[in-house]
């Protein structure tokens, strides 16, 4: 694996059991993602974007081939080992935000730091910094049901990057947002990408996102058909 690679995938195949048979969702994927990249997995619905993103993020495993995350082989790892790698090195942003409703903005963002056993005094400083990055100072103590969609997604972004992970995976992060909020979210993410060394990977078919991406990997029918750096 090269020095700058955060993810290296070789001859990946992903099959799902369907009824008595199986469906091949990813076919012979070869891919290296490098430190600090801002990449989109793009393609029509059903092309395999989410499946690939979930395998990159250790939420799912390959049927064949090898996946390396920061020099750690994900092949033959247990669920618990993958969870440990995710906690330490990864952040996730979802279309539906996935915030915990009983927690405030501050508490939602604090969670990855608690899981990574950062002490409370340190946590406060780091969370306040993340809140500032996404511009939610005035919503610090609000619960998600008092936030707009854009504010929920900004909270989710802060939660995804608060432990300065090596990688952030974002699955259709703008799908529930209007144009203005989508552009705001993308601008925040571009700024973060320049500020911290985190590599971002999006799964998206949102045209509004395309202009922000620095690398576009196009999927069709479970295969990479194009890989361009802009």
Ligand X SMILES: Nc1ncnc2c1ncn2[C@@H]1O[C@H](COP(=O)(O)OP(=O)(O)O)[C@@H](O)[C@H]1O
Q: How far is the CB of 71 from ligand X (least distance, A)?
A: 26
Residue 135 interacting with ligand X (CB under 6 A): no
Among 9, 12, 25, 156, indicate the residue that binds ligand X (CB under 6 A).
Answer: 25
Residue placing its CB nearer to ligand X in the complex, 98 or 129: 98
CA gap 20, 215 in Å, rounded: 38
Instruction: Indicate whether 46 belongs to the interface with ligand X (CB under 6 A).
Output: yes
The binder of ligand X chosen from 8, 39, 50, 198 (CB under 6 A): 50
Q: Segment 190-219, which members bind ligand X (CB under 6 A)?
A: 203
β-pairing, 5-18 vs 64-69, is: antiparallel
- 16 sits near ligand X (criterion: CB under 6 A): yes
Distance CA 15, CA 167 (A): 25
Task: Give the nearer residue to ligand X in terms of CB position, either 12 or 158.
Answer: 12
The nearest distance, CB 209 to ligand X, in angstroms, is 14
- Interaction between residue 39 and Mg ion (CB under 5 A): no
The Cα angle at residue 127 between residues 164 and 141, in degrees rounded to 5: 145
47 near Mg ion (CB under 5 A): no
Which residues does 138 contact at the CB level (< 8 Å), separation at least 6?
none
Among 50, 153, 184, 204, binds Mg ion (CB under 5 A): 50
Pick what 51 binds: ligand X, Mg ion, none; C-beta below 5 to 8 Å, kind-dependent: ligand X
45 part of the interface to ligand X, by CB under 6 A = yes
Please enumerate in sequence order all residues whose Cβ is within 8 A of that of 19, keeping only pairs 6 or more positions apart, or say none. Answer: none
Closest by Cα among 141, 138, 168, 146 to 156: 168
Q: From CA 78, how far away is CA 26, in angstroms rounded?
A: 21
Residue 51 found at the interface with ligand X (CB under 6 A): yes
Q: What interhelical angle do 149-161 and 179-195 show, nearest 10?
A: 20
Nearer of residues 6 and 42 to Mg ion, judged by Cβ:
42
Element (H, E) at 36: none
Given the rule CB under 6 A, which residues bind ligand X? 16, 18, 23, 25, 43, 45-51, 203
């Amino acid at each position: 694996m090269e020095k700058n690679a955060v993810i290296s995938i070789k001859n990946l195949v992903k099959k799902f059991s369907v009824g008595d048979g199986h469906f091949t969702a990813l076919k012979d994927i070869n891919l290296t993602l490098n430190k600090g990249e801002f990449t989109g997995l793009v393609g029509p619905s059903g092309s395999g974007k989410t499946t690939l993103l979930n395998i990159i993020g250790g939420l799912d495993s390959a049927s064949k081939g090898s996946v390396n995350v920061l020099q750690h082989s994900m092949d033959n790892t247990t669920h618990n080992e993958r969870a440990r790698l995710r906690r330490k090195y990864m952040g996730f942003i979802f279309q539906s935000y996935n915030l915990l409703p009983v927690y405030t903005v501050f508490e939602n963002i604090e969670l990855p730091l608690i899981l990574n056993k950062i002490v409370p005094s340190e946590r406060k400083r780091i969370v306040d910094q993340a809140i500032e990055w996404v511009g939610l100072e005035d919503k610090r103590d609000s619960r998600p049901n008092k936030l707009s969609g854009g504010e929920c997604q900004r909270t989710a972004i802060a939660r995804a990057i608060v432990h300065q992970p090596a990688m952030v995976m974002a699955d259709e992060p703008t799908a529930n947002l209007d144009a203005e909020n989508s552009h705001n979210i993308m601008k925040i993410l571009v700024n973060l990408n320049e500020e911290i060394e985190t590599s971002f990977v999006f799964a998206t078919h949102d045209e509004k996102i395309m202009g922000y991406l620095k690398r576009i990997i196009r999927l069709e029918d479970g295969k990479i058909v194009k890989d361009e750096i802009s």
